[in-house]
């Protein structure tokens, strides 16, 4: 594929949007194209450049209208100089610059719609609408596709659903040697044989760590809740653990670079978000590791968790319902949990892989050529 694609986003610090940017850059290069990325920079630039992509530093995180126009001029110059055929925007402020640049440079314009984007003040819907103005608009789930149709009226001819993906080679029980698992178990002080309930995710109120702690206070037995991640909600969670007497039943494990090993420690993985998740990548990562998943019954996890087949769903924000389901799942024979895990991994392999996401995105680029 003789194609030069310029992806634009605010920065390359961390997160799913940023990971997706690197994964698509990798696919473009593997297909024989050239991958350019413009952002304000960050620690992930080194990984991007190691793939063979080129990074251009621009202040694309700004929402200042004058800077957005200046960025549009800079992106248009870059697109003309490098023969860019497609500009792919992944966030709203950079998308306005990219839209203007694509029109000036005569290039195709693609957006990936990553969230529901709130409309809390006048004019916000117009600001958000840039993500629906692509020649092709990529929704990361059927849930987001329905939201785009309802909010912006994007026709089927321009809308494509491409779910997020996971690398099943890295996220595989077979990929984690015993010594990696033992090292993490020792670092977190998790005794062998103790049942583990894990909630991976940024520590923020809507991710539902508080819901899980309230469920643990209702759950009989001595299962250990591990909250894996960091964020500004940490102090409040520590206070709640103390207030509910969960000092021996819940632990803030912090961040880890070895999520496959972390997930393999879990007997059950919980998704407890109280706001609708646009996709929920931790769900498919846990499923790829053959872990049973209990998910909040809203947003995109309704697509990735088939009730009783590849996991279970419970009402969001309901500690009693979550505690009841945890008790049920933890009481299942190990073989029954393993069977659920195996079906979950098979579902991930069938639809939710990084390779599938990459190939579907390349197909969108080819459509525009």
Distance, in Å, from the CA atom of 133 to the CA atom of 155, rounded to the nearest integer, reads 11
> For position 104, what pLDDT does the model report?
97
Q: Are residues 196 and 157 in the same domain?
A: no
Do residue 72 and residue 188 come from a single domain? no
Higher model confidence: residue 269 or residue 126?
A: 269
3-state secondary structure of 89: strand
Identify the pLDDT of residue 304: 97
User: E strands within the chain?
Assistant: 4-8, 34-39, 54-57, 86-89, 108-113, 136-139, 159-161, 196-200, 224-228, 250-254, 268-271, 293-296, 312-314
Q: What is the rounded distance in angstroms from the CA atom of residue 156 to the CA atom of residue 178? A: 48
- On whether both 73 and 118 belong to a single domain, the answer is yes
User: What's residue 1's pLDDT?
Assistant: 55
pTM comes to 0.93
Give the C-alpha separation, 310 to 179, whole Å. Answer: 28
Residues 195 and 324 in one domain: yes
Same domain? For 159 and 236 the reply is no
pLDDT tens-digit series, residues 38-63: 999 999 999 999 999 999 999 999 99
- Say whether both 62 and 178 belong to one domain: no
Cα–Cα distance, 182 to 100 (Å, whole number): 52
Q: Residues 300, 323: one domain?
A: yes
Total domain count, the chain: 2
**Averaged pLDDT, 148-168:** 96
Give percent of the chain with pLDDT exceeding 90.
Answer: 95
Residues 168-202 pLDDT 10s: 999 999 999 999 999 999 999 999 999 999 999 99
Same domain, 331 and 359: no
Do 131 and 185 belong together in one domain? Answer: no
Specify the pLDDT at position 125. 87
pLDDT tens for 197-253 read 999 999 999 999 999 999 999 999 999 999 999 999 999 999 999 999 999 999 999
> Are 126 and 112 part of one and the same domain?
yes
CATH number of the domain that residue 222 is part of: 3.40.50.2000
Question: Over the stretch 328-358, which tens digit does the pLDDT of each residue have?
Answer: 999 999 999 999 999 999 999 999 999 999 9
DSSP one-letter string for 115-133 = S-----STTHHHHHGGGG-
CB 162, CB 357: distance < 8 Å: yes
Same domain, 28 and 148: yes
Residue 242 is part of which domain span? Answer: 173-351
**CA–CA distance from 289 to each of 42, 171, 266, 336, 347 (Å)?**
30, 6, 10, 15, 12
Residue 274 to residues 151, 209, 210, 295, Cα–Cα distance (Å): 21, 10, 10, 10
Same domain, 258 and 111: no
């Amino acid at each position: 594929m003789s194609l030069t694609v310029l992806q634009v986003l605010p920065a390359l610090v961390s997160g799913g949007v940023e990971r997706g940017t690197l994964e698509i850059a990798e696919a473009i290069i593997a297909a024989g194209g050239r991958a350019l990325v413009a952002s304000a920079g960050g620690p992930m630039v080194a990984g991007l450049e190691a793939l063979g992509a080129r990074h251009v530093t621009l202040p694309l995180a700004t929402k200042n209208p004058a800077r957005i126009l200046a960025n549009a001029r800079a992106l248009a110059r870059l697109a003309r100089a490098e023969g860019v055929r497609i500009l792919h925007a992944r966030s709203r402020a950079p998308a306005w610059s990219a839209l203007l640049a694509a029109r000036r440079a005569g290039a195709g314009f693609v957006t990936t719609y990553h969230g529901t984007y709130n409309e809390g003040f006048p004019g916000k819907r117009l600001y958000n609408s840039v993500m629906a103005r692509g020649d092709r608009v990529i929704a990361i789930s059927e849930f987001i596709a329905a939201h785009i149709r309802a909010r912006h009226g994007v026709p089927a001819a321009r809308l494509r659903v491409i779910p997020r993906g996971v690398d099943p080679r890295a996220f595989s029980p077979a990929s984690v040697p015993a010594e990696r698992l033992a090292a993490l178990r020792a670092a977190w002080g998790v005794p062998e044989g103790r049942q583990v309930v894990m909630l991976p995710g940024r520590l923020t109120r809507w991710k539902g760590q508080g819901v899980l702690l309230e469920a643990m206070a209702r759950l009989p037995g001595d299962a250990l809740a591990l909250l894996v991640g960091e964020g500004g909600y940490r102090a409040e969670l520590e206070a709640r653990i103390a207030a509910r007497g969960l000092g021996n039943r819940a632990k803030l494990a912090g961040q880890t670079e070895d999520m496959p090993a972390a997930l393999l420690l879990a007997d059950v993985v919980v998704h407890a978000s109280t706001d609708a998740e646009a996709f929920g990548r931790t769900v498919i990562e846990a499923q790829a590791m053959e872990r049973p998943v209990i998910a909040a019954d809203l947003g995109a996890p309704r697509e990735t968790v088939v009730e009783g087949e590849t996991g279970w769903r419970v009402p969001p924000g309901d500690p009693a319902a979550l505690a009841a389901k945890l008790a049920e799942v933890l009481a299942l024979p190990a073989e029954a949990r393993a069977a659920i895990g195996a079906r979950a991994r098979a579902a991930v392999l069938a639809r939710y892989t990084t390779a599938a996401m990459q190939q579907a995105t390349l197909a969108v680029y080819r459509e525009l050529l």
